[in-house]
Structure 1
Amino acid sequence: MTSNPTMVRADPAVDGHHPHGWRIVAALAITSTVGYGTLYYAYAVLLHPMATTLGASTTALTGALTASVLAGALMAIPVGRWLDHHGGRALMTCGSLAATALLVAWSQVHTLRQLYAVMIGIGIAGAMVLYEPAFAVIVSWFTPDRRATALLAVTIVAGFASTIFMPLTGLLTERLGWRGALLVLAAVHGALTAPLHALTVRRPPHAPATTAPDASTRPDHHQRRAIVKAAMRDARFWILATTFIAQGAATSTITVHLVGYLASRGHPATFAAVVAGLLGVLSVTGRLILTGARRRLPVTTIVAVVFAIQAVAVLAMPLLAGTRAGAVITVVGFGLGFGITSLATPALLAERYGTTAYATIAGRLAAPVTIAKAAAPLAAAALLHTSGSYQPLLGAVAACCALAAIGITSRSGSTLAHRAIDRRNDRP
């Protein structure tokens, strides 16, 4: 009885102690913070000044942001494929330069059509520079024992993007007007992101192949394609997609409609806005909980518990949110899961499919999830208009969270990356 000697390393990440890997983490923490702050969070601050200047409704301008998010979702798949084949340096540098130019172009728009065109471009550029490509670079550099810490570092820093850039954008708008504010933000973005991506991001120095003397240290196109095909045929992938679609729809719906709901319960607008602002801080809290608890429990167990807490918190809102203390308690319960998927997704995908084709698979997962996040608040608004009450909306959000809690616990089989490569090696 002989063992199979053809064992190809499916996870080519290098030693988590490699010093340049941590330099990349530091660089991506900065670029992700600046990217989200300038390309996404600034829009909310500039919404009303732009509406006044352009003579358009805030609803029409909000549609431009939705178009931007959808464009980014559609770009996730080709971006993921590029990252697996070519790495992130050229892609992220070009995306940073394009985003900087688009911020300048944004400052010069005079019609709604021009704004939509610029925001679609920003969505495409954002897909090249924000979390998804950053995570793909980090996953390729770090082994599983260090990967969670590296991802946590980026998401914790970037979690304060709104805290930094929304007040900054407001101050710049007061001093310079919204066009001048965008020019300053473009200068900040260009000065920080493009150089950091160009000078820091690179492919990892992969460890040598293990036992097969003819195995390449760098996976070839056929290995990647085999792993991606196996993933697309894997029921677990589609269960995971459904899970994150449901949870993404729930979080985006609460984000958009929470202030309105709390106001409908008789709370002042200022209090409602402050409580809603807790979601950003709680997203960091949830990530810390996941990173600390995963040393003792499986990631799926932790995430399922958090999603279940979200469902309970939303169901409790009609009973508790009428008081200030109850509103805070329920929002805290929901907010614990607000940013947890940004860490859970890389962990689950890398565990299940390895890192050889990680970016391609992550892009195929990100596309439908991002579309759901963009569409869910609009569907929720339609439901709210039809029913005239927040009860059906909250019920739908709670159901989505419960579905996500159930879906995340579904597990089956061994790592598909190894199985797909082994099948290829077994061919005559």
Structure 2
Amino acid sequence: MTTAITNDLVDDRPPPSYRRRRALSTIGAFSLMLAVSLNFAFGFLVVPGSAHFNVSAAQFLVWFSISTVSMGLSSVPLGKLMAAHGTKIVVVCSGLLATASMVCMAFAPNIATFYLLSITVGIGLCGCTSLAATTIVVGWHLHKRRGTVLGGVMAAMGLGGFAWGFVFPPLLEAVGWRAGLLTIAALIAMLTVLPGIFLISNPPIPGTNAPRTVAAEQRKVMRAGIRNVVVLVTIAAAIFSFEGAFAAIMPAVFSANGLSPAMAGALVSYYSVFSLVVKPLLGYINDRWGIHTMLGLLSLAYVVGLPGLSLLGDSGTIGYYLLLPVAALSLAAPTIAAPLVITRCVGAQRYSAVYGTMIVGNCVGLALGAPAWGLAYDVFGSYRVALALAGVAGLMAMALLLIAVRTSRRPDTEAAAAYPQGTPPASSA
């Protein structure tokens, strides 16, 4: 009798069924991040899409701005829906909406209809990409290796972007614009709807069995702390996206510095490889040495990376090969540091709602970032000032994340203490 009780106390590993659902859900989250990487494929549609509708590239790209705005506006309600009804149903419905909208876009009779359909595309993609993927990882992985798992899942963006760069140019040349957009729609369905149905399970919510007799004053303090975290991480996300526009205009920066198009393309591929590697690395650093070490390393990368690139000009390629890995490390902050900070500050139970609010800031930064870089080039005749200021902006965003960590009450730490091996309460399966 005593031996049986002792064995029950020692064997606190998650049951096999839980581990299986956690593993399948993590694979599903990886698939959702592959869908995020299709943003690279959309870039190849600009030229043939403009010709199809007989509009300029700027007019065609209005659809992307509309989609980004609708994504930002829908992120908060979708985050609350995930918290209330689970991630699985939101992923499936959002994936179906995005797929159907893209199919309709391929047959849009004019550019105005194309713009209108981009609204529902943004709403659909918001619910079946990074918001859902990070919620799955945060909700299922309550153990000390959560950061490493999150980094591995986020690496799918770099892997997908690397692959689409080789696949889509010859594909569009062979099948044309409409078939290319239909191919993207089919990939969205494969990477979101099918995993949502067959792989993803709703994450267990830590603390469902915990007593709810919390004093009113304590609840008031907790809500105030969460509001502070929401404000800090949302502003930080806007700043990150603002300076992260470098990744989108990288070829233009290299060309302005006097590098040939071939060399610019080689450096972009070089950067992409390191952007694939640094995300798991940052997650491991968080798990091994703590979140303060990770934030400190990222701050150092912001000091060295983009400001260092501003000093290179056409002085040769060795400096680019040395500094682009550092830049890739710093630009991984929004996808790794921000989710880990949110989880530490508000816990897994409130993660989707807070992350959904953070996406609003991310979309604002995306909408303003690229034009600001272009304005800096027009005013100063180069991107050097923008690169230097981007490093300063990154440091400001890192400071906001650090303030959020230091002022939070760390509910996620309490959850991890309650379930040290990542095992959920029996009622939350």
Once the two structures are TM-superposed, the CA of residue 375 in structure 1 deviates from its matched residue by 1.4
Partner AA of 1:26 in structure 2: I
**Equivalent residue in structure 2 for 1:415, among 406, 409, 413:** 409
Once the two structures are TM-superposed, the CA of residue 249 in structure 1 deviates from its matched residue by 1.2
Once the two structures are TM-superposed, the CA of residue 205 in structure 1 deviates from its matched residue by 4.9
**In structure 2, C-alpha distance between the alignment counterparts of 1:88 and 1:240, rounded to whole Å:** 22
Once the two structures are TM-superposed, the CA of residue 198 in structure 1 deviates from its matched residue by 1.9
Q: 1:333-371: CA deviations, max 9, x gaps?
A: 211122233122222111111122111111112211222
Q: 1:322-343: CA deviations, max 9, x gaps?
A: 2111222222221112223312
**In structure 1, C-alpha distance between the alignment counterparts of 2:147 and 2:60, rounded to whole Å:** 37
Once the two structures are TM-superposed, the CA of residue 374 in structure 1 deviates from its matched residue by 2.5
1:230 pairs with 2:227: no
**In structure 1, C-alpha distance between the alignment counterparts of 2:387 and 2:304, rounded to whole Å:** 11
Instruction: Name the counterpart of 2:110.
Output: 111
Partner AA of 2:394 in structure 1: C
What secondary structure sits across from 1:320 in the alignment? coil
**In structure 2, C-alpha distance between the alignment counterparts of 1:286 and 1:418, rounded to whole Å:** 24
Give the conservation status (yes or no) of the 8 Å contact 2:102–2:182.
yes
**In structure 2, C-alpha distance between the alignment counterparts of 1:71 and 1:191, rounded to whole Å:** 23
Once the two structures are TM-superposed, the CA of residue 154 in structure 1 deviates from its matched residue by 1.7
What secondary structure sits across from 1:283 in the alignment? helix
Structure-2 change in CA distance of 1:172 and 1:258 (3 Å): closer
Structure-2 change in CA distance of 1:295 and 1:201 (3 Å): closer
TM (norm. structure 1) is 0.83
Instruction: Name the counterpart of 2:243.
Output: 250
1:390 pairs with 2:391: no
Give the conservation status (yes or no) of the 8 Å contact 1:73–1:366.
yes
Structure-2 change in CA distance of 1:403 and 1:203 (3 Å): same
Give the conservation status (yes or no) of the 8 Å contact 1:307–1:337.
yes
**In structure 1, C-alpha distance between the alignment counterparts of 2:381 and 2:131, rounded to whole Å:** 38
Please say which of residues 273-282 and 365-374 is displaced more in the overlay.
273-282
Give the conservation status (yes or no) of the 8 Å contact 1:305–1:405.
no
Structure-2 change in CA distance of 1:195 and 1:132 (3 Å): same
**In structure 2, C-alpha distance between the alignment counterparts of 1:25 and 1:389, rounded to whole Å:** 43
Please say which of residues 116-125 and 76-85 is displaced more in the overlay.
116-125
Instruction: Name the counterpart of 1:36.
Output: 36
Please say which of residues 351-360 and 138-147 is displaced more in the overlay.
138-147
**In structure 1, C-alpha distance between the alignment counterparts of 2:224 and 2:19, rounded to whole Å:** 31
Instruction: Name the counterpart of 1:379.
Output: 372
**In structure 2, C-alpha distance between the alignment counterparts of 1:15 and 1:150, rounded to whole Å:** 19
Structure-2 change in CA distance of 1:197 and 1:392 (3 Å): same
Q: 1:280-304: CA deviations, max 9, x gaps?
A: 3222222122122224422233233
Q: 1:87-113: CA deviations, max 9, x gaps?
A: 111111011111111221121134222
Partner AA of 1:327 in structure 2: Y
* Unaligned segments of structure 2, at least 5 residues: 1-13, 416-429
Please say which of residues 345-354 and 183-192 is displaced more in the overlay.
183-192
Instruction: Name the counterpart of 1:312.
Output: 304
Partner AA of 1:29 in structure 2: F
Give the conservation status (yes or no) of the 8 Å contact 1:51–1:58.
yes
Give the conservation status (yes or no) of the 8 Å contact 2:377–2:383.
yes
Q: Percent identity of the aligned residues?
A: 18
Partner AA of 1:328 in structure 2: Y
Once the two structures are TM-superposed, the CA of residue 71 in structure 1 deviates from its matched residue by 1.5
Structure-2 change in CA distance of 1:87 and 1:227 (3 Å): farther
Please say which of residues 262-271 and 237-246 is displaced more in the overlay.
237-246
* Unaligned segments of structure 1, at least 5 residues: 1-13, 422-428
Q: 1:169-218: CA deviations, max 9, x gaps?
A: 22221221111122233233324531220233332456786674xx59xx
Instruction: Name the counterpart of 2:290.
Output: 298
Instruction: Name the counterpart of 1:359.
Output: 352
Partner AA of 1:364 in structure 2: T
**In structure 2, C-alpha distance between the alignment counterparts of 1:255 and 1:325, rounded to whole Å:** 19
Partner AA of 1:41 in structure 2: F
Give the conservation status (yes or no) of the 8 Å contact 1:37–1:162.
yes
**In structure 2, C-alpha distance between the alignment counterparts of 1:31 and 1:418, rounded to whole Å:** 24
Give the conservation status (yes or no) of the 8 Å contact 1:240–1:408.
yes
What secondary structure sits across from 1:312 in the alignment? helix
TM (norm. structure 2) is 0.83
Give the conservation status (yes or no) of the 8 Å contact 1:102–1:121.
yes
Give the conservation status (yes or no) of the 8 Å contact 1:261–1:390.
yes
Instruction: Name the counterpart of 1:174.
Output: 173
Partner AA of 2:85 in structure 1: H
Give the conservation status (yes or no) of the 8 Å contact 1:159–1:284.
yes
Instruction: Name the counterpart of 1:142.
Output: 141
CA RMSD of aligned residues (A): 3.0
Instruction: Name the counterpart of 1:81.
Output: 80
Instruction: Name the counterpart of 2:19.
Output: 18
Partner AA of 1:380 in structure 2: W
Give the conservation status (yes or no) of the 8 Å contact 2:96–2:193.
yes
Please say which of residues 48-57 and 272-281 is displaced more in the overlay.
272-281
Structure-2 change in CA distance of 1:418 and 1:189 (3 Å): closer
Give the conservation status (yes or no) of the 8 Å contact 1:314–1:334.
yes
**In structure 1, C-alpha distance between the alignment counterparts of 2:345 and 2:226, rounded to whole Å:** 12
1:273 pairs with 2:273: no
Give the conservation status (yes or no) of the 8 Å contact 1:354–1:415.
no
Instruction: Name the counterpart of 1:201.
Output: 200
Give the conservation status (yes or no) of the 8 Å contact 1:47–1:61.
yes
Instruction: Name the counterpart of 1:426.
Output: none
What secondary structure sits across from 2:178 in the alignment? helix
1:49 pairs with 2:48: yes
Please say which of residues 194-203 and 87-96 is displaced more in the overlay.
194-203
Once the two structures are TM-superposed, the CA of residue 413 in structure 1 deviates from its matched residue by 4.1
What secondary structure sits across from 2:311 in the alignment? helix
Partner AA of 1:389 in structure 2: S
Partner AA of 1:372 in structure 2: G
